Amino acid sequence: MDFAIAAALVVLLFALLASGLWIGLALMAVAWLGMELFASRPVGDAMAVTIWGSSASWTLTALPLFIWMGEILFRTRLSEDMFRGLAPWLQRIPGRLLHTNIVGCTLFAAVSGSSAATCATIGKMTLPELERRGYPDTMAIGTLAGAGTLGLLIPPSIIMIVYGVTAEVSITRLFIAGVIPGLLVAALFMGYTVLWSLRHPGRIPPPDPPMPLADRLRASRHLIPTALLIALVLGAIYTGIATATEAAAIGVVGALILSAAQGSLNRDTFVASLMGATRLYCMIALILAGASFLTLAMGYIGLPRHLAEAIGALGLTPFWLLFCLMAFYIVLGCFLDGISMVVLTMGVIFPTILKAGIDPIWFGIFIVLVVEMAQITPPVGFNLFVLQGMTGRQIPWLARIAWPMFALLVLAVGLIYFFPGLVTWLPGRM
């Protein structure tokens, strides 16, 4: 009976989503109906208390601040300066300027919590330049599609904040845990680019004329604003001077100062950044509120407990449990965005994870990596949508050239499973 109820609610949810109803409202509608039919608690009272509680969380205040910081930086000359600072140092590496996508996204991810913002900001700067210099579109766009996902893994990360709030896990420890895996994924992307370039040397344009060391060092001064902002935000968190929320506020102030120093801060850009952050956060907050209400409804119906017991009865080892969850999230990522995936499933999945003895901090990084895969899987891959708008290419073509990056993310999941210290060592040093 419980599984029949669950199946009916899932079918109803997907029917509402397919109808075009906003995700947050669809979640609330399913939760309302489930509680009305299968629970004894008054629905209105439960809905009001849950939505207010999820919206008034102090921890969640870091989310709009990090979004606003990213929106401010999106409107500065940061990406252009980043390219000018990086390009002279990458000319002698196989693949040459293709690595600007990966290194640029890695750096920008450390001052932005959004995958789409990272992909769009770096792409607007690198793609025209790479095309002008004759680099192949498949690698230029493919590496950008993969590297853009680093915006979710390298802190500060919006998805980590969402996971930390829904799973009640320390966001600061999650941020710290994401550093080594983020650099690992960036290294995998760069390694693949090197190997591809060695196999196809004729498709890589010749290097620019050698630049003296003094000129390269002079060009590197353009990286100073980015480095200072990264040090300001992440240093405040890692040293314990500030919480994630306080560091987000510091980041906003730093981004405003950087924008003003570059001459790109005026009334129009300030209002545009504020409104862009407000719209994005309101969408996320509505989804979180609906997911909190749905989680409460499922709790009263008893679905999480029964599902956890059913999975536990299967006797799956942690490896096979995580393998099944990875396959489940990859399929789910074909239809939902990353935030919706996390808030929709965490109420059911998290008790099972705890029962299996899996570290919740480690599982948070696992979830982020799997959500990164969803960013480049059709038909609902946010990075693919961003790249489609920038390049005019069709989604199937974009998904095909992003496939190697998807495979490397699967490899990264395998590496953190067999070497969990990649995730847990740095937070354990706190």
Q: Tens digits of per-residue pLDDT, 239-255?
A: 778 877 788 888 889 88
Q: Note whether 371 and 329 are within 8 A (CB).
A: yes
| Alpha-carbon distance values, 27 to 11, 32, 34, 162 (Å) | 12, 9, 11, 16
- The token pair at 154 is 């390298």
Give the pLDDT mean for 396-419. 92
184's CB contacts (< 8 A; 6+ apart) are 412, 415, 416, 422
Q: Note whether 197 and 416 are within 8 A (CB).
A: no
Q: How far apart are CA 111 and CA 168, in angstroms?
A: 24
| Nearest in space to 371 (alpha carbons), one of 63, 158, 143, 226 | 158
Give the pLDDT mean for 44-58. 78
Q: Note whether 134 and 88 are within 8 A (CB).
A: no
| Alpha-carbon distance values, 182 to 70, 105, 165, 348 (Å) | 18, 11, 21, 27
215's CB contacts (< 8 A; 6+ apart) are 88
Indicate the burial class of 94 (C-beta count within 10 angstroms; 0-12, 13-18, 19 or more): middle
Predicted TM-score of the model (pTM): 0.76
C-beta atoms surrounding 68 within 10 Å: 23
Mean predicted lDDT score pLDDT of the chain? 81
Q: What is the pLDDT confidence band of residue 2, given thresholds at 50, 70 and 90? A: low
Hey, what amino acid is at 360? P
- The token pair at 251 is 């980041």
- The reported pLDDT for the residue numbered 363 is 95
Q: What's the pLDDT tens digit per position in 76-115?
A: 776 667 767 777 777 778 888 888 889 888 887 877 667 7
Q: Return the percentage of the chain with pLDDT > 70, whole number.
A: 91
- The token pair at 261 is 């120093």
Contacts of 391-399 with CB under 8 Å at 24 or more apart are 391/127, 391/137, 391/141, 393/141, 398/141, 398/145
Q: What is the pLDDT confidence band of residue 417, given thresholds at 50, 70 and 90? A: very high
Give the pLDDT mean for 195-215. 81
Residue labelled with tokens 């995998």: 188
Q: What's the pLDDT tens digit per position in 297-338?
A: 777 776 656 665 666 667 778 888 899 888 888 877 766 667
The residue extents of the domains of the chain are: 2-6+25-428
Q: What's the pLDDT tens digit per position in 157-180?
A: 888 888 988 888 888 899 899 999
Cβ burial 185-198 (10 Å sphere, 16+ → b, else e): bbebbbebbeebbe
State the helix-helix crossing angle for 224-238 and 78-90, rounded to 10 degrees.
100
Residue labelled with tokens 């932005």: 112
Q: How far apart are CA 130 and CA 112, in angstroms?
A: 23
Q: What's the pLDDT tens digit per position in 53-68?
A: 777 777 677 778 877 8
Three-state DSSP at 70 gives helix
Q: How far apart are CA 59 and CA 244, in angstroms?
A: 8
| Alpha-carbon distance values, 388 to 110, 146, 383, 400 (Å) | 24, 14, 8, 13
